Amino acid sequence: MRYRTVGGQRVSAVGLGAMPLSIEGRPDEARAMATVHAALDAGVTLLDTADSYHLPGDEPGHNERLVARALATYGGDTADVLVTTKGGRGRPADGSWTVTGSPRHLKSAAEASLKRLGVEAIGLYQLHKPDPAVPFEESVGALRDLLDEGKIRHAGISNTDVGQIRRAHALLGDRLVSVQNRYSPAVRDSEPELRLCAELGLAFLPWSPLGGISRSSLDGPSPEDAGHSTGPGDSTLPGHGTGLDAFHAVARERGVSPQQVCLAWLLARSPVVVPIPGASRPGTIRDSAGAADLELTPEEVARLEVEAGVGS
């Protein structure tokens, strides 16, 4: 396992996005716990959750409680595990994703997350998404207050643009340690944000990092694909192609999964990148974790970047 840093803490180069363990299509409790334990066995030391990762209309915090139970029942050492959670979104009964970024809500949400995780201070707490109805500085100000009160150790922001990252950094300084945006070979809207994170020394945590990779015109459905989460909204179908066939071709040449190639490519993009692929089966997170040890050649990276359209 290779390592990277988030806020000065060493973490595995590949984390686990725990969301699929709690939302629609989630596995049963036993398999969910086994998936987290498999991640820990594979050397994963960054677990990503949020208070809104639950079924529509349910009480917030299902995923946080699950992660806390998995850590408590794990037989090995978890002292180096960084749990990052997020606040500011909700999931009402209609299945939508709401946004609430008022300082009052964020502070209350952080307090509740603290209790569910069973920790004295949350290792990394992130604003899940800017609320257009609330001045951004007010939402980030709530993170600053939580830092000052010792309830969170580090702060991050998610689903933000370059201007918002700069504004948050101006308010929080080096206590802002991460940005969590959607980023994958198929969705590279956050290229400017990634470059800014590298400039400021912020960890960049791509969510939905496998978008577009789980299906290719080279491959039909596979049991492995069924456990890999490409993120909300991924509707790529088997046999329809994705325009990213080079990732599958390199995978065949290397004898690994296309998901491993995708994650290895993301790691090659910048030393601040820490992908957080979702998983709902032990085998898939073990496969994803293996990407940390897969070093692509410069020729392979160039080949993949041409297909992904980097620099175009």
Burial letters 245-274, b for 16+ CB under 10 A, else e: ebbbbbbeebebbbbbbbbbbbbbbeebbb
Residues 46, 6: contact at Cβ < 8 Å?
A: yes
Encode 144-171: b = buried (16+ Cβ within 10 Å), e = exposed: bebbeeebbbbbbbbbbbeebbebbbeb
Q: Who contacts 86 (Cβ-Cβ below 8 Å, separation ≥6)?
A: 49, 50, 51, 52, 125, 126, 127, 128, 158, 180
Known active-site residue 53 = yes
Q: Catalytic pick from 3, 53, 74, 183?
A: 53
Alpha helices (H) along the chain: 29-41, 62-73, 103-117, 136-148, 162-172, 191-200, 223-227, 245-254, 258-269, 282-289, 298-308
The structure tokens listed for 150 are 């010792």
d(CA 9, CA 177): 10
| Distance of alpha carbon 125 from alpha carbon 9, whole angstroms | 14
> Both tokens of residue 237?
């179908």
Q: Which residues are catalytic?
A: 53
